[in-house]
Amino acid sequence: MEHFAFLIHPMDMGHITRKYRMAKKIPEKLVTGTVKRKKPWAISEITGIRSITGKEAMGWFIIVPLLPSQILNLREKYVVKKIVKACEVAKKQGAGIVGLGAFTACVGGAGKDIADATDVAITTGNSYTVSTAIEGAKKAARIMDIDLRNANIAVVGATGSIGKVAAEILAAEAGALYLVGRDQYRLDEVKETIFDSLPEGDYNIIASTDISGMVKQADVIITVTSAIDFVIQPEDIKSGAVVCDVARPRDVAEIVKETRDDVLVIDGGVVRPPGHVDFHFDFGLPPDLALACMAETMILALEGRYEDYTIGRDIRIDQIRDIENLAEKHGFELAGFRSFEKALTDDDIQTIKMNATKVSL
């Protein structure tokens, strides 16, 4: 039996008030102050992972008691120290590798400072997240009859760990590639790196901070920012477009679900691990499904690869291919389409397609 742990944290005040009802009656500032002072702890066991090779793994969810806004805005040294403490809790439980969940992967040089400060192996899980996001977006595009070679593909959050390498992989396949974010200088740097990595040819790559303007022109959007608020609104999305929302918390406004029945929004990075995984904790997915970053941690544990894996903001394409091969070896696969945390049926997708056709008539 192999052992891993995965760090999670509350995504919003609702996560805290649902667990501790008393918190509803207390001023928010007092609650966040209390959360901030709490120590990390193991909240549940993750059982039932059985590779098709016969190998088994189990793990633990470790809570890092910090909200996204605290992770992004408190002193980084304080946040990193708390994440390192969570890794120590994981190690004490017996984990050989720790996956950094959600915003714990966005600080400390995308896992680098944490890996340097602890002797347990670390991964952000971002390699498999990139792989599954692209696979899901491509599959959805095919269903919506979008030919990538003639399509405008936008990557929102293109300067981030996941966004940058996802854009690099898609550059050669897209009709036009839009690198979208909030910092023009960094976007231009990514654009240059991508041009340097491509074989000779004609490529249409645009870097822009005009999120709404670029999304409006895109047929396929992979959105993967660490923004706390929504970055894509209903009026931004072209009819018939595919949006793969990899971000947690999500980038696409909830209201899109009610107001746009002509666009296909899918939750990125949802995976079915082999066996009957039970997290003994509700993190928003039905039993048997995991996020890709969790899956990467499980895969590395099943391999007994207790070494740092995806660390830092420069993910290599060969690392992604490596984890894809290991995922296949152990029987991990992309889950069916989900949108705003609900499963999408083939009929749902056909209806979206029909609605999009009506809009374009």
Binding site for ligand NAP (CB under 6 A): 102-103, 105-106, 110, 125-126, 129, 157, 159-163, 181-183, 186, 224-227, 231, 246-248, 268-269, 291-293, 313
Calpha distance 230→253 (Å, rounded): 5
Please report how close the Cβ of residue 292 comes to ligand NAP at its closest, in angstroms.
4
Nearest-approach distance from CB 310 to ligand NAP, in angstroms: 9
Structure tokens that stand for 112 in this block:
């680098």
Nearer to ligand NAP, 25 or 75 (CB): 75
Residue whose C-beta lies closest to ligand NAP: 160
- Please enumerate in sequence order all residues whose Cβ is within 8 A of that of 146, keeping only pairs 6 or more positions apart, or say none: 219, 220, 240, 242
Of the candidates 190, 142, 141, the one whose C-alpha atom is nearest the C-alpha of residue 169 is: 190
Tell the smallest beta-carbon distance from residue 216 to ligand NAP (Å): 16
Residue with tokens 């979208």, as numbered in its chain: 180
Query: Measured from the CB atom, is 184 or 204 closer to ligand NAP?
Result: 184
Q: Of 250 and 260, which CB lies nearer to ligand NAP in the complex structure?
A: 250
**Smallest distance from the beta carbon of 85 to ligand NAP, in angstroms?**
20
Work out how close the CB of 12 gets to ligand NAP at its nearest, in angstroms, rounded to a whole number: 13
* HSE-up (13 A, CA, CB side) for residue 295: 31
Give the helix ranges, DSSP H, for the chain. Answer: 13-19, 28-37, 68-73, 76-93, 112-117, 126-143, 161-171, 184-197, 211-217, 255-259, 292-302, 317-330, 346-360
DSSP state letter for 252: B
Tell me whether residue 223 or residue 356 sits nearer to ligand NAP (CB atom): 223
Measured from the Cβ of residue 95, the count of other Cβ atoms closer than 10 Å reads: 26
Q: Which is nearer to ligand NAP, 40 or 181 (CB)?
A: 181
**DSSP helix, strand, coil percent of the chain (3-state; round to 5):** 45, 20, 35
- Judged by beta carbon, residue 16 or residue 246, the one nearer ligand NAP is 246
| Nearer CB in complex with ligand NAP: 179/356 | 179
Return the number of the residue (110 or 121) whose C-beta is nearest ligand NAP.
110
CB of 63 to ligand NAP, least distance (A): 16
The residue whose two tokens read 């929004």 is 265
Query: Rounded CA gap, 111 and 224, in Å?
Result: 17
Q: Could you tell me how far CA 221 lies from the centroid of its own chain?
A: 14
Long-range contacts of 145-149 (CB under 8 A, 24+ apart): 145/353, 146/219, 146/220, 146/240, 146/242, 148/173, 148/174, 148/175, 148/220, 149/173, 149/174, 149/175
Q: How far is the CB of 232 from ligand NAP (least distance, A)?
A: 10
- In the bound state with ligand NAP, the residue whose beta carbon lies nearer, of 231 and 264, is 231
Least distance in angstroms from the C-beta of 357 to ligand NAP:
30
In the complex, minimum distance from the CB of residue 202 to ligand NAP, in angstroms, rounded to a whole number: 26
